[in-house]
Amino acid sequence: MSDEKKSLALAVQRRGLDPAQWSTLTNSLFPGAQPSSILMAVDYCRARKLDPMKKPCHIVPIRWKNPATGKWQDRDVVMPGIYEYRTTAQRTGQYMGRSRVEYGPEVEALGVRAPEWVEVTVYRWHAASATRVEFPARVYFREVCGTRKDHDNGGKLVANDRWVRAPIQMAEK
């Protein structure tokens, strides 16, 4: 076994993951992700007291410009998913649900037909005043949509694949 494989096996073992769990993480939950990125997601979940098998976070590849070198580099980051936000809200003991989601008129934006905006109100208990407090939020598709450069079209920004497949679902989250 190479030193690299030994090091990975030790890192997996130190986190208390058995072979079946590691196989599920690498082959089903985070397919194609680097092992170090999967370990980063496991560490994130442990720090937040979340079960990584419920996939509360996502491993997202990003390009960033290194300020020291001025060069663009690829890197994975762990980003919370809607499950993590809902779990955290529920754990406060103050979350009182949300309103029905409302949708604005359908528009064409970034190559996708989607609601111009999505609006929801979240309710939270305020113990000091013994009242339910409302937190309304409206997001605009053009501002929250994940994008990519369309190199076949002069580098124009378009919605990324996930937002093309499910623009309403993504905006609602």
Over its length of 173 residues, how does the chain's per-residue pLDDT go in tens digits?
A: 788 888 988 999 999 999 999 999 999 999 999 999 999 999 999 999 999 999 999 999 988 889 999 999 999 999 999 999 999 999 999 999 999 999 999 999 999 999 999 999 999 999 999 999 999 999 999 999 989 888 888 889 999 999 999 999 998 88
Distance CA 107, CA 140 (A): 11
24-28's contacts with Cβ under 8 Å and 24+ in sequence apart are 24/53, 25/52, 25/53
Kindly state the tokens that stand for 120. Answer: 């929801």
Q: What is the pTM of this model?
A: 0.79
Determine the pLDDT at residue 99. Answer: 97
Determine the pLDDT at residue 25. Answer: 97
What backbone torsions phi and psi does residue 48 show, to the nearest 5 degrees?
Answer: -95, 0
From the list 85, 67, 84, 65, the residue with the least C-alpha distance to 75 is 65
